Structure 1
Amino acid sequence: MNEGVLRVVIVDDEAPARARLRDLLGDVAATQPTVLAGMAANGVEALRLIEAGEVDVVLADIRMPVMDGVELARHLGRLERPPAVVFTTAYDQYAVQAFELAAADYLLKPVRAERLAEALARARRSLRPADEALQRIAPGARQHFGVSERGRILLVPIAEVLFLRAELKYVTAHTAEREYLLDESLVQLETEFAGRFLRIHRNCLVARSAVVGVERAGEQEGEAHWEILLANDAGRLPVSRRQWPTVKQVLGI
């Protein structure tokens, strides 16, 4: 991390809160020199800013529309050189203790100049946020998959994913338009999104919302099995014999 001037991005959905942090950065510049690299109203806007240029520290609100601060931190943790994350929050002292596990520091609103200076000093020494700790703070909170592609993080809305398939060492997320390569395990995804995806095969999870029916297939070839029918004629997926009882129960067949 830069030992001199820190490049900072402020992320908060409230304009007055962004302005206050910007002013406070000026107040502590003598001891913690910074340059404002940009301001954003949510995590998606922040990711675009961070991809556009080098950033050392992200001051991120916890609760925001579109993408909150916790999900933003999880995506940032997958960058080759992730910035330090400092959460800003209105939570009380007891709830905030959990955030220390996953961020360089936290700031209680209204933010004070001396605490901001301390947080920036700690950010210089911090490591990337631990994804496991972020998962404990907001289990299952993600609304997007973060996909590294050509030096950028593509945000794939999880609601658009039809199914997830394990292929060799990777998992591919399939939407109606294309497929994306995820650096995550199928077991991890099944646990995190148990209410959204259903395992139909040892190497495949299907989005429950994408299932429009099931159909018997392969009887003429002597390998009869059940297949999941996907919405909008997006195709079929085979159901393994082992998973069929669970699939049948979940789908109410």
Structure 2
Amino acid sequence: MTPRALIVDDESPAREELRYLLEDAPGDLNVQVVGEATNGEEALVLLRSLDYDLVFLDIRMPGLTGLEVAEQLRELPKQPKVIFTTAYPDYAVEAFDLAAADYLVKPFDAERLARAVERALGSGSSAQTQEAGADDGAEAAPARDSSPPDRERLVRIPVQRDGRTVLVEGDAIVYAAAARGYSSLKLAEDKVLVSFSLNELERRLHGHFCRVHRSYLVNLRYVRELVPDFRGHLVLVMNDRQRSRVEVSRRHARELRQRLGV
């Protein structure tokens, strides 16, 4: 049976865009949008009257917030999978505390949406587990790219801030860290969330960026020191104000030393 979806967003253009992206999603994605709601109260009425498989849920809406709606979904006999779709990255921790399947920060494309749906329906969980885990014994293979490894090019990463899309220069990123459903970028004075996976960031950030762990991608220009920890693992001390420390996995240590010439 085709999964049935409900779109909840107080803005009509956002609902229309999501419908379009679902229709335009790559691969064999087949989701039937059978309802729309403009606020949390309306969404709960629909969710209590029909079994849905997926709910695309905005967070900031008049009345009930998306987080409050997700909390009440726990009372339903059949709980749909929730994918948050929002312009604000600030609520990701609260969203995953509510067992969200994914957290998409607007704007997102059809490919990113398709991965979220696949994860929610159960076919994308394995890849995500490999990306976000921290056990050094079962690492996912680093992403490969056909581009020359040291090619210099202008790279900007879109970051959502206060309803605006801010383009962050690649050179301003100290390191990127994987998290469930998103990644964090450590900047010189700030840390921000983006909806890209670490593998996606690795494909975008060529040249002086290096994967040092399945959960970390570092800007080699910010590496200040290489020090061993108490287990004998290599740790990078970064040249930012906080002197951030980034763990290096054993499988990536040799490549890192070669890239740094040590």
Q: TM-score range by the shorter chain?
A: 0.3 to 0.5
Which of 1 and 2 has greater Rg? Answer: 1
TM-score, length of structure 1 as denominator length: 0.45
